[in-house]
Amino acid sequence: MAARTPFVAGNWKMNLLLADAVALAEGLMPLVASSAGVEIAVCPTYTTLHAVGKALAGSNIQLGAQNAYVKESGAYTGEISPRMLMDVGCSWTIIGHSERRHILGEDDAFLNEKTRFALASGLNVMFCIGELLEERKSGAMNAVLERQLTRGLDGLDAELARVVVAYEPVWAIGTGETATPDQAEEAHVFVRSVIASMFGEAAAAAIRIQYGGSVKPDNAAELISRENVDGFLVGGAALKADSFAAIVNACAQ
Ligand code: PGA
């Protein structure tokens, strides 16, 4: 099995005004400056990306966006292109977060287009998937994850090396309810099997699969100890420097 470097990313969602966003970045840097063997990113709002990126310059924390549009420029009021994100220092974008799927109505085909365009533009992608509680209860979980992966990552080839999959069960996001390590591992094993059937065994062994959904300092160590959990996408606990740093450090080697 390929050794996979854990990747911990903070999704700040629609939180923090400019001064607080910069202060969070500045507070975080010293706490993770010597965290070895773990890749780190934060994903602030569009309005704070540039300032946070400047604050993080030269640090071991990468900058990511929470979304990116499917055109480079033009008459697309309110949208932001991958090139604009790279211009302010982003190397990552989240695509397909459940809040965009379920609140903003983004479907598999649109998310595939976004993923392909972001990758073609040079961004790396954290591609989010996850089942609703009713889907888990009705036994449809694997079918949902398979559909989200096969449609969302359709048409990718070598660019898959710049994709991280984030498994985020919707019932665990922002609820305080975390998947157990067994539930996370089981889902990640299934995700890896779908990647193997789409792209082959080597790609499946290499791809990193983050877990997301109420990750906290006190559950991170147990989750990351599972073989197929390769890091985290963290929401609420990423808004405090000490809790995000503790999650990063639970993954440091
Ligand atoms: P949470 O959010 O950690 O607040 O549950 C995770 C996410 O939505 O990425």
pLDDT band at 120 (very low <50, low <70, confident <90, very high): very high
Q: What is the pLDDT of residue 253?
A: 87
Name the residue with the closest Cα to ligand 1, atom 9. 235
Average of per-residue pLDDT across 209-227: 97
Q: Which atom of ligand 1 is nearest to the CA of 236?
A: 4
pLDDT at residue 48 greater than cutoff 90: yes
Q: Identify which of 253, 240, 244 has the alpha carbon closest to the alpha carbon of residue 61.
A: 244
- What pTM, to 2 d.p., does this model score? 0.97
Asked if 112 contacts 154 with a C-beta cutoff of 8 angstroms, the reply is yes
pLDDT at residue 190 greater than cutoff 90: yes
Per-residue pLDDT tens digits for 156-186: 999 999 999 999 999 999 888 889 999 999 9
> DSSP letter at 202?
H
CB atoms within 10 A of CB 181: 17
Q: Which atom of ligand 1 is nearest to the CA of 13?
A: 8
Asked if 236 contacts 200 with a C-beta cutoff of 8 angstroms, the reply is no
Asked if 140 contacts 131 with a C-beta cutoff of 8 angstroms, the reply is yes
Out of 173, 233, 243, mutate this one to test ligand 1's pocket (max ligand atoms within 8 Å of CB): namely 173
pLDDT at residue 145 greater than cutoff 50: yes
pLDDT at residue 1 greater than cutoff 70: no
Average of per-residue pLDDT across 223-246: 98
In angstroms, how far is CA 100 from the centroid of its own chain? 13
Label the pairing between strands 231-234 and 208-212. Answer: parallel
Per-residue pLDDT tens digits for 55-68: 999 999 999 999 99
pLDDT at residue 2 greater than cutoff 70: no
Q: What is the pLDDT of residue 189?
A: 98
pLDDT at residue 113 greater than cutoff 60: yes
What are the structure tokens assigned to 171, written together?
């019932």
CB atoms within 10 A of CB 157: 9
